[in-house]
Amino acid sequence: MNSSLQHTIKKNITLVGIGLHSGKEVKLRIKPAPVNSGIRFLRKDVEPQVLIPARIQYVTDVRFATTIGIGNSTVSTIEHLMSAFAGVGIDNAIVELDGPEVPAIDGSAYSFVALLKKAGKKEQAQSRRYLKILKPVAVKNGDSFISAEPCDVMTVTLEIDFDHPMIARQKFSGVINEQVYEDQIARARTFGFLKEVEMMQKNGLALGGSLENAVVLSERSIINEEGLRFPDEFVKHKVLDLIGDLYLIGMPMIAHVQGYKSGHMLHSKLLQAILNDADNYEVVEQDKNVVKRRYWNVSSKQASAAVANI
């Protein structure tokens, strides 16, 4: 595999599963797509069908999961599938769905990774482009923060701190590449607290949540009989989420991203802050040639749309 080239998949992938929040069964089909088209989600069940690019400017909700949409048509909980695309190195694909939420499967990205690899990666005749961070950018909310700083290879340092004996403080720090992603990140499951799950379900959320697709914590312990997949599965899942959310910039990023207690909301704010000032980044090919460097004195929406057109 030549990682300096763009990739799609060799053949269609189909899977059926339950949405974590909606509890609804959704059929999903992933199809190959042409160069420079990126990852796009197609709502097949609405008339007319709506094609939503998986880009920061289409993000409509970041409260419990990452949701993208156009008009009234949305696709929620895209982060684990986006993470799999980023982790495996798929640049271009169309994700068709007959419902509003990506299936949770086992609450990690591993099933998506396994299916993408089974379908096979296909090299495409176009260089992959990376968004390389040139200046430190940081956003914060209370004591939580996330930042992106210049670095020669994609690196993530993430720390969480939960007032729960099974989680407490956990930290992940390391270079992110395909091997690291597959071995250490992809299998980490989402997690929730029994108390909060009950509250969320009263509000129509986490309706598809179960011990099959999440690590569930009671007051002092883990309810799942099988226990954890990694001693630090919780922070690794947060890294999985971060990788998925960062991919909404439309191409792999080259930076050292450092976060503390960050979530979907801060991730999307970081991407907006990066795109707000074109001095923050340049778009490069792997041989470090600058493809295009433009100076925009415009809103992040226009700037990210401009990145989309590169």
Binding site for Zn ion (CB under 5 A): 190, 241
Are 103 and 190 contacting, i.e. CB atoms less than 8 angstroms apart? no
Tell me the closest approach of the beta carbon of residue 73 to Zn ion, in angstroms: 22
Tell me the closest approach of the beta carbon of residue 79 to Zn ion, in angstroms: 5
Residue 50, Cβ neighbours under 10 Å: how many? Answer: 18
Concatenating the DSSP letter of every residue in 175-209 gives E--HHHIIIIITTPPPEEEHHHHHHHHHTT-STT-
Catalytic site includes residue 264: yes
Tell me the closest approach of the beta carbon of residue 213 to Zn ion, in angstroms: 11
Catalytic residue of the set 7, 237, 264, 267: 264
Are 80 and 88 contacting, i.e. CB atoms less than 8 angstroms apart? no
Tell me the closest approach of the beta carbon of residue 293 to Zn ion, in angstroms: 34
Residue 17, strand partner residues:
26
When the beta carbons of 247 and 281 are compared against Zn ion, the nearer one is: 247
By the 10 Å C-beta count (0-12 exposed, 13-18 middle, 19+ buried), 279 is classed as exposed
When the beta carbons of 265 and 305 are compared against Zn ion, the nearer one is: 265
When the beta carbons of 127 and 224 are compared against Zn ion, the nearer one is: 224
When the beta carbons of 44 and 229 are compared against Zn ion, the nearer one is: 229
Are 243 and 168 contacting, i.e. CB atoms less than 8 angstroms apart? no
Catalytic residue annotation: 264
